[in-house]
Amino acid sequence: MREIIFDTETTGLDPRSGHRLVEIGCVELVDRRESGRTFHAYFHPERDMPAEAEAVHGLSVQFLSDKPLFASRVDELLEFLGDAPMVAHNAAFDFGFINAELARVGRPALDMARMCCTVQMARKLHPGAKHSLDALCTRYGIDRSHRIKHGALLDAELLAHLYIEMTGGRQIGLGLAAASAVTAAPGVASPPRPAAPARPFREPRPHAATPAELARHAEFVAALTQPLWHDSP
């Protein structure tokens, strides 16, 4: 099964207010394992960069000034995404920005049925706990020491490790994940459980001692000097 773990960086919180996508990072998983294939791109936002957004991801207007427009790389992005389920942290936010950019260039929106949100998964697994990417990486022992600022590809790579752990970890493939794996969002299939190998029937082994074994045991006990069970309490 192929899945895409992805993250975005933007100029703000709401595409309906004119905010734009400036970075996307995608990591391909095949059967819940990283395949090594990624997609990463920066985009010129065609607008200013608010200071509060730049403080989060560090992407300035100057840095983005020579980057391509979304329209020039949309075909590469859609080819990489294919029809695979798409996993993101607070996925509705990321889907909203991608679909807004697709609408600007006259492309169909991504089907929301493809969406899997790890925030929703975390709320079911750990109700009442913190559900930020940093907090969950700490909970699952995922090293994030190299994460100084938000970055789409780095965050997607961290999320890929987190998603694997939240859906059964390295037990997948051993047939043990079914008892502990999280139920994925609609449209995201669970990994198939391998069939148990056929084994020939064997008669149960006898467990009673033979007469010869009982005789040897009696001889051994008779030879003991002052056994503990003869001591007075």
- Residue positions forming the annotated binding site for a divalent metal cation: 7, 9, 155
CA 103/CA 135 separation, integer angstroms: 34
150 is catalytic: yes
CA 177/CA 175 separation, integer angstroms: 6
Using CA of residue 166, residue 172, residue 174, residue 179, what is the dihedral sign?
positive
Domains and CATH numbers, the chain: 2-179 (3.30.420.10)
Tell me: pLDDT of 107 over 60: yes
The residue from 89, 131, 150, 161 that is catalytic is 150
Dump pLDDT digits (tens) for 174-229. 444 444 444 444 455 555 555 666 677 777 666 677 788 888 888 888 888 877 76
pLDDT at 173: 43
What value does the CA radius of gyration of the chain take, rounded to a whole number of Å? 28
Its pTM stands at: 0.71
- Residue positions forming the annotated binding site: 7, 9, 52, 57, 155
- Residue positions forming the annotated binding site for substrate: 7, 9, 52, 57, 155
Dump pLDDT digits (tens) for 125-181. 999 999 999 999 999 999 887 766 678 999 999 999 999 999 987 554 444 444 444
